Structure 1
C-alpha cells in the first residue's frame, strides 16, 4: 500500500508539472501570435502606404529625386520589418522582390521619366504585386498560427530550417 501511495504522489506531481508546461507553452504561443499579428498589420499598412507613394511618384508630372529616395528608403525599412516578423517564406521573399521591381524597375531613377496614366501597366503591376505580397504574408501567418496542428507543426519546422540557412 505504501508503494501505491508513492506512485500516486509521483503521478500527481508529474501531472501538475506536465500541465504547467503545456499551459505555459500555449500561453507563450498565444502571446507570440498576438505580437506577430500586430507587427504583420503594421507591415501590411506599410505595404499599402508604399504602394500609394509609388503610384503618386509614377503619376507625377516630372521625376522627383526626393520621391525616389523616399521610396527606396521605405523599401529597405519594409524589407527589415518583414524579415523580423519571423513568418517569411521563400514565396514571400520572391513576391517582395517582384513588388520592389514593380515600383523601381521601369520609369524610376531615369532621365526618360514619363507620367503614367491611371490605366498604366506600371501602376497596375504595382497594385497587383502589393496585393500578392499582402496575401502571401497573411497566408503564411495563417499556416503558422491558425491551421490544423500538423500544418502548424510543418510550417514551424520549415521556418526553423529557413532560419538555419546561411
Structure 2
C-alpha cells in the first residue's frame, strides 16, 4: 500500500460504490470495515435524510467531521460519505493514517445509480444540482486522493481488482 498505511479510506460521489466495494475490499484484505454514513446514523439515531430535513447540510457536515476526527480507523477499510472531503481537518487526519482511494465514476453513470437525488440524504446546498455538486466535489476528491480508480464501464469485480492492483504498487 502507498505510504505503508494499514488502513484504506474510500472517497467519491454518492453512488460511486464506496460501501459495496469497501465491504469486498475488507474481505479480500482481511480488514474490518467502517461506513461513516452508518456511524453517523447510529450515533444520531436518525437517517442522513432525517438529519437534513430537521436541520441543514452544514449541520450534517459538522457531524460528519466529528466522526472523521474521532472514529478508530486503524486496520480498517473506511467508506466515507460523499461530503467527507469538505472537512479539511478530517481528511488531513485520514491521510495521515490511511491510503485514500478516489472511486471516480462519471456523472451520467452516477445519475443512473443514485435514482432520486432529492431523497438520497446528500449533504448539498439547497437546490444544488447533481452536476454542480459533482464539479465541486471532484476537485476536492482529486486534491485528497492517493490513488484514483476509474470505475467507468467496470463491473464491481473489475473495480475491486483495480483498487487491489494500485494498492500493491
Query: By percentage of residues, which structure has more helix?
Result: 1
TM over 0.5: no
Larger radius of gyration: 1
Q: Which has the higher contact order (CA 8 A, sep 6+)?
A: 2
**TM-score between the two structures when normalised by the length of structure 1:** 0.30
Query: By percentage of residues, which structure has more strand?
Result: 2
**TM-score between the two structures when normalised by the length of structure 2:** 0.30
